[in-house]
């Protein structure tokens, strides 16, 4: 009988000792993890990698996070690009700490994106349509090219040059127009649609416009109206 009576007395202190340990462990789990310099460098790397996804190439990123070593401990951080900065070979990625003490710093980055782009194998004059035979593939760092260069050949073939394109030069989107676009000064067919009626007429385009964009049209009556470009010869006016 004696061992049976002592068992609860021996077990009870053990339960009291286990309870504080369990509460302390739970409190530690609720606290946000402190982000190390390596964590924030990884954050900057992943953010930069997400930004270069717009380019069809293989990104090579080198980071220097030494500035972060002098900053206070951080539990919650986010990466960002400083205002007005675009992707280039040498740049900075901002690191903003939100808690417990707000601060901002930066990580220096060296960036290259190796991929393919296209140049012309002849001079393309304004008004000429680009064919696949006019293009030659090149490989290099896409960040070294001028902004607006078109990398997808499907956005080149069949398009019309709106300005002269030099032989061997990468092709920018500003030098092209959709073959179904309307040109300023062109006579277009107008389709006016309203509740229960459709009327057609003619007008003169006062602006250039690709399919789906709105341009100003001078109707045969002399009235200036807004219309949506449907194709190279037709616009639609909603009444």
Give the CA distances from residue 168 to residues 40, 56, 121, 153, 178, in Å, rounded to whole numbers and listed in that order.
Answer: 42, 20, 6, 15, 22
Q: Report the percentage of the chain scoring pLDDT > 90.
A: 69
Report how far residue 64's alpha carbon sits from residue 42's, in angstroms, rounded to the nearest whole number: 11
What DSSP designation does 11 have?
H
Residue 11 resides in a domain:
no
Q: Report the percentage of the chain scoring pLDDT > 70.
A: 86
User: 98 with 127, same domain?
Assistant: no
The CATH number of whichever domain residue 227 belongs to comes to 2.30.30.760
Report how far residue 98's alpha carbon sits from residue 101's, in angstroms, rounded to the nearest whole number: 7
User: 96 with 124, same domain?
Assistant: no
Residue 58 resides in a domain:
yes
Report how far residue 35's alpha carbon sits from residue 74's, in angstroms, rounded to the nearest whole number: 6
Largest CA distance in the chain: 114
The CATH number of whichever domain residue 118 belongs to comes to 3.90.1210.10
Report how far residue 58's alpha carbon sits from residue 117's, in angstroms, rounded to the nearest whole number: 13
Higher pLDDT, 29 or 211: 211
Residue 197 resides in a domain:
yes
Q: Which of 154, 177, 200 is the last residue of a domain?
A: 177
User: 194 with 227, same domain?
Assistant: yes
Average pLDDT over residues 77-88: 89
Report how far residue 9's alpha carbon sits from residue 144's, in angstroms, rounded to the nearest whole number: 78
User: 100 with 43, same domain?
Assistant: yes
Which has the minimum average pLDDT: 25-29, 130-134, 181-185?
25-29
Report how far residue 21's alpha carbon sits from residue 107's, in angstroms, rounded to the nearest whole number: 40
Report the pLDDT value the prediction gives residue 35, as an integer from 0 to 100.
Answer: 82
User: 106 with 130, same domain?
Assistant: no
pLDDT in tens, 93-110: 999 999 999 999 999 999
Report how far residue 14's alpha carbon sits from residue 7's, in angstroms, rounded to the nearest whole number: 11
Q: Which of 113, 144, 167 is the last residue of a domain?
A: 113
Domains held by the chain: number: 3
Three-state DSSP at 180 gives: coil
User: What string of DSSP letters covers 25-84?
Assistant: HHHHHHSPPPBPHHHHHHHHHHHHHHHGGGSSEEEEEEEE-GGGGGSPPBSEEEEEPPTT
Report how far residue 159's alpha carbon sits from residue 85's, in angstroms, rounded to the nearest whole number: 31
Report the pLDDT value the prediction gives residue 113, as an integer from 0 to 100.
Answer: 96
Q: Which domain holds residue 169?
A: 114-177
Average pLDDT over residues 54-66: 94
Summary mean pLDDT of the chain: 86
Write down the number of H helices and E strands in the chain: 2, 12
């Amino acid at each position: 009988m004696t061992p049976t009576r002592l068992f609860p007395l021996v077990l009870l202190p053990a339960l009291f000792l286990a309870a504080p340990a369990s509460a302390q462990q739970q409190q530690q789990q609720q606290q946000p993890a402190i982000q190390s310099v390596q964590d924030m460098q990884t954050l900057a790397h992943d953010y930069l990698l997400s930004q270069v996804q717009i380019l069809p190439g293989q990104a090579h990123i080198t980071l220097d996070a030494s500035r972060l070593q002098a900053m206070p401990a951080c539990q919650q951080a986010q990466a960002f690009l400083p205002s007005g900065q675009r992707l280039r070979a040498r740049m900075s990625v901002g690191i903003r700490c939100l808690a417990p003490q707000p601060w901002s710093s930066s990580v220096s980055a060296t960036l290259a994106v190796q991929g393919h782009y296209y140049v012309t194998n002849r001079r393309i004059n304004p008004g000429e349509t680009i064919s696949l035979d006019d293009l030659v593939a090149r490989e290099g760092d896409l960040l070294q090219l001028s902004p607006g260069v078109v990398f997808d050949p499907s956005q080149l073939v069949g398009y019309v040059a709106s300005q002269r394109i030099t032989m061997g030069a990468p092709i920018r989107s500003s030098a092209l127009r959709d073959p179904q676009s309307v040109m300023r000064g062109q006579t277009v067919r107008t389709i006016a649609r309203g509740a229960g009626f459709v009327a057609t007429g003619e007008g003169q385009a006062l602006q250039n416009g690709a399919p789906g964009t709105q341009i100003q049209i001078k109707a045969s009556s002399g009235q200036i109206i807004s219309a949506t470009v449907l194709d190279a010869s037709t616009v639609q006016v909603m009444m």
